[in-house]
Chains A and B, each alone.
Chain A
Amino acid sequence: MKLLTHNLLSSHVRGVGSRGFPLRLQATEVRINPVEFNPDFVARMIPKVEWAALLEAADTVPKGPIEGYEHDEKFLRQMHHVLLEVDVLEGTLQCPESGRLFPISRGIPNMLLSDEETET
């Protein structure tokens, strides 16, 4: 699971609403996966990123988008690495409100909840 994905996921346990974001990430196995750098794509993603959530999930992240980031190759490469190359293979995502755990195995998060657990 990439950190870009973590940034877009939220818990949908009954009653948590927007407090289900961001999920607390506990990674037990991480792999760095080289991905071809595409500055246009990364630049497009920057405005969509919830920065506070990203800072919680990753250590070496710039504090926020810098002025003129669209043309700052160093910044974009850093963001590219954090968002797309860090791959969580095993671990859990935890709902910050209810504590419910969503497992990640083989790099794939399992977000299934039963009827009782979800919003009506």
Chain B
Amino acid sequence: MAMSCPLNRYLLLMAQEHLEFRLPFISSQETYGKSPFWILSIPSEDIARNLMKRTVCAKSIFELWGHGKSPEELYSSLKNYPVEKMVPFLHSDSTYKIKIHTFNKTLTQEEKVKRIDALEFLPFEGKVNLKKPQHIFSVLEDYGLDPNCIPENPHNIYFGRWIADGQRELIESYSVKKRHFIGNTSMDAGLSFIMANHGKVKENDIVFDPFVGTGGLLIASAHFGAYVYGTDIDYNTVHGLGKASRKNQKWRGPDENIRANLRQYGLEKYYLDVLVSDASKPSWRKGTYFDAIITDPPYGIRESTRKTGSQKEIPKGMEKCPESHVPVSLSYHLSDMFFDLLNFAAETLVLGGRLVYWLPVYTPEYTEEMVPWHPCLRLISNCEQKLSSHTSRRLITMEKVKKFENRDEYSHLLSDHFLLYKGHNSFREKYFSGVTKRIAKEEKSSQE
């Protein structure tokens, strides 16, 4: 980005959802916290459009022509906007319309018309076309975030030329509610797109999910043109057999498997393969061929954490995986799982490739030092999503910055770092301890 090029200012209108995940997606110069209005400096309109082709967090982007804390401030700001930048969109051959958006307040039609009339001083020479205008201009009035306390006057008013909308409709079109094949822990569509964006998934990439489940995370990557692989230790899930996760449905139908999910969205050509495999004992040959590893490992709550076990362990707490006749152990410690995941990512990601995964955390004991670390991977972002009063999960994004040399080289380094996370092996107990206490409390108070 050449520093001599003057940056244009754009107004990004964010959706009020997944607030914790909005910031790392766009490295903005100031933090906006809860406000849906973000002002960004972007070198070109093309970049702004490309941003909108990926994001599910932003509703729209506008080229910012003026803003202020009152109508007068807005008008004077508009008068200061260079006329030569306005003229290409206002000339006599063009058509346009002006929209008024208000946030946290409703205006009457009359009030809206008054505001449009007040903009008459702008050098509009084109014709108004309400149906299919070439250019859309918007006035956005910000009346704050508290629906119980709506101010008389807006806090901020913005005026801009509409450029593009974000990909919010993907959340609806890829909704888990309509998906053919789901599991108990299928990821919300919006979050799966956010994860694909954190992974910088692009066309012709190969993306891998080692805890693929029903393949929800693969769908988002395939949507962005990546070819996808998945593995899971659960034979039934990978084959699309067994009990259904939908209420009122007993068994899974023939159309319920990962491939069918991709087919549902016209993305079947991106399906490479899925395998029944233990993520702690991967069967991939030596080499770097994944552009991104995007996954939601089991936390041991709604799905058990498992790895293949030993014949000697058979008597207690065992499950036999019918088709493979391989014993499955129920005691895969969480910290070991992340250790294995990071090592695997360091070994098989291309340089610059990304690992995106969820890390379950017991909030009262959480510290940043607990986030698993690896000498070949750099931490890019760490976003928290609350699950309950004392647990949350963190979306961790890491990028491979160093070539992987030798597995043994890292084991002594990593063991110290993982000591901190080892406390989380009892994540399952801690999660349930809060639940049982609350239930006991509720029962007690209902009896009184």
Write the residues of chain A forming the contact surface with B, with a CB cutoff of 8 angstroms: 1-2, 4-5, 8-12, 18, 21-22, 35-36, 38, 40-41, 44, 48, 50, 84, 102-103, 105-116, 118-119
Contacts and interface: CB of A to CB of B under 8 A. Distances in A.
B283 A111 contact: yes
A9 B309 contact: no
Contact of B326 (A38, A48, A113, A119): A113
A109 B284 CA distance: 12
A98 to B, nearest CB: 13
Given A4-B272, A9-B285, A112 B239 contact: no
A106 B229 contact: no
A109 B269 contact: no
Instruction: Determine chain A's interface SS by DSSP, over half rule.
Output: mixed
A114 B309 contact: yes
A84 B238 CA distance: 20
Interface of B: 203-204, 227, 229, 231, 233, 235, 238-239, 269, 272-278, 281-287, 289, 308-311, 313, 321, 323-324, 326-327, 329
A107 B260 CA distance: 14
B272 A114 contact: no
B204 A8 contact: no
Contacts of B235: 110
B204 A21 contact: no
Given A11-B283, A48-B287, A110-B235, A116 B276 contact: no
A38 B204 CA distance: 9
Contacts of B285: 8-10, 18, 21-22, 50
Contacts of A18: 285-286
A12 B274 CA distance: 18
Contacts, number: 99
A44 B287 contact: no
A44 to B, nearest CB: 5
Contacts of A41: 204, 227
A25 to B, nearest CB: 14
A118 B281 contact: yes
Nearest to B326: A112
B345 to A, nearest CB: 16
Contacts of B231: 111
Contact of A112 (B204, B278, B310, B313): B278
B282 to A, nearest CB: 7
A111 B277 contact: yes
Contacts of B281: 12, 113, 118-119
Contacts of A105: 323
B311 A110 contact: no
Contacts of A11: 283
Contact of A110 (B272, B275, B282): B275
A12 B308 CA distance: 13
B287 A114 contact: no
15 contacts: A5-B272, A9-B283, A9-B285, A12-B281, A21-B285, A21-B286, A109-B273, A109-B276, A111-B275, A111-B278, A112-B324, A112-B326, A114-B311, A115-B329, A116-B311
A111 to B, nearest CB: 4
Given A5-B229, A21-B285, A113 B308 contact: yes
B331 to A, nearest CB: 12
B203, B283, B286, most chain A CB atoms within 10 A: B283
Given A111-B276, A113-B308, A114-B308, A12 B227 contact: no
Contacts of A102: 283
A17 B269 CA distance: 33
Given A4-B272, A105-B323, A106-B239, A112 B227 contact: no
Nearest to B203: A40
Contacts of B275: 1, 5, 108-111
A114 B327 contact: yes
Contacts of A116: 310-311
A109 B308 CA distance: 16
